[in-house]
Chain A
């Protein structure tokens, strides 16, 4: 970190001489340390999966969810500072409500990502604020078909066939690239997502975690919901065994 001590990293409103804004890069560091989140877009719908790292064994399972809902048809999962993620959900909820108030129809995901992108970007322009320490994957499925976007701390956003953010990003992306998205069903994607989340987790090194999976599309009546308990258990168990046997072979 050659930038430390130069003074150019103290404010989001100051460039370094080589044209970088270090506060944004530090925000990205917060993302890289967080539990992995992946999103997969299939032909019938979109799957989100999150690895919720458990800071304490005393936490009640199934609480403090990482995959959140912003509207009937919109799911979101952030990697990074949890509080920033919750705040962005509140903002996303307002944007969705605002769009419905004005246009009497559900917000298309490309509009929401643009609005949230602008919101995050505003926090990179002033010395009085800090950028959001999160990347966020958002999912939707409406008359525009299944859509998947990821927004970065800078405010940049991209549309994806599949994406991963957080700690296990590299390995997860390699795994995602192997999938055949033309053939993949929503159900299969749930299993793939579970497998990959377990795969990027190293039980000897990392903290324990809880897997979360949500979907939206044909199989969920086009509402964003956590997957049914039975499917979740199946995918979680199978994912765990697959990841273990994968590690054995190495």
Chain B
């Protein structure tokens, strides 16, 4: 019996997850990642370190498309393992005036990315040619950056949600970029825990909705999701910010919280911890 800790292989023939149609393990057959072994060793190679795991981390980011634009949310917690280390961290960040990104994963890598984006925006501003970078351009830049770093086997340990509205065309962008350089866009996006807990809610409330979604209702949906995430995600905090981007511009809210109800917890038995 092969009990994998990789949940995606549960319920499948045990090698199926990695196997191609010929029954071979593709990662072995083509020696995927072989570069790790072929990097030449020198006297200092042990002193050269690349990020192998995140240290201070942020949990999920969620985002949705509504009638006039994009709404994102992320809580204010930066954890150090299971320690709730920093409780007033902003994980939403404005890039130019029409784009906001939300970051999950390593917070120092996130700060590095913020700095890179600042430099990009300032360089662009100094050209003074009447052009500015919209959300689609920021998305492309971040995809290239993240894929480049993963290809050096030195990833930026993050998952980003990029949201924005192009001020000229009015077209809205909601997209995802992560440490592997994986990218996609969708009407609703959630990273990490939110991809399992919030996405089903968001898909029902946003994508299956018949009438257009206005800003007020969008905020209600965001709050519902943040509440459920707070109930279920042990690395989350009931203190979060919401970013709204429309054709008119973007704003990041003050921190807010939702009312919670823990009365039911009293009656729960049988999940471990209790002795009777």
Contact = CB atoms under 8 A, between A and B. Distances in A.
A111 interface: no
Interface stretch (A24-32, A66-74, A182-190): A66-74
Contact of B119 (A68, A69, A89, A100): A100
A68 B127 CA distance: 8
Contact of B126 (A69, A100, A101, A104): A69
A70 B122 CA distance: 9
A93 interface: yes
Contacts of B85: none
B115 A69 contact: no
B123 interface: yes
Interface residues of B, number: 8
B128 interface: yes
B119 A72 contact: no
Interface in A184-230: 223, 226
Listed residue (B123, B125, B128) with the most chain A CB atoms within 10 angstroms of its CB: B128
A46 to B, nearest CB: 17
Contacts of B128: 65, 68-69, 226
Contacts, number: 27
A151 B123 CA distance: 23
A130 interface: no
A93 B123 contact: yes
User: Which DSSP category, helix, strand, loop or mixed, fits chain B's interface?
Assistant: helix
B217 interface: no
A97 B122 contact: yes
A93 B126 contact: yes
Contacts of B115: 100-101, 104
Listed residue (B119, B122, B123) with the most chain A CB atoms within 10 angstroms of its CB: B122
A160 B5 CA distance: 68
Nearest to B121: A72
B248 interface: no
Contacts of B122: 71-72, 96-97, 100
A104 B128 CA distance: 23
Given A89-B126, A100-B119, 14 more contacts: A68-B128, A69-B125, A69-B126, A70-B126, A71-B126, A72-B122, A72-B125, A93-B123, A97-B123, A100-B115, A101-B115, A101-B119, A104-B115, A226-B128
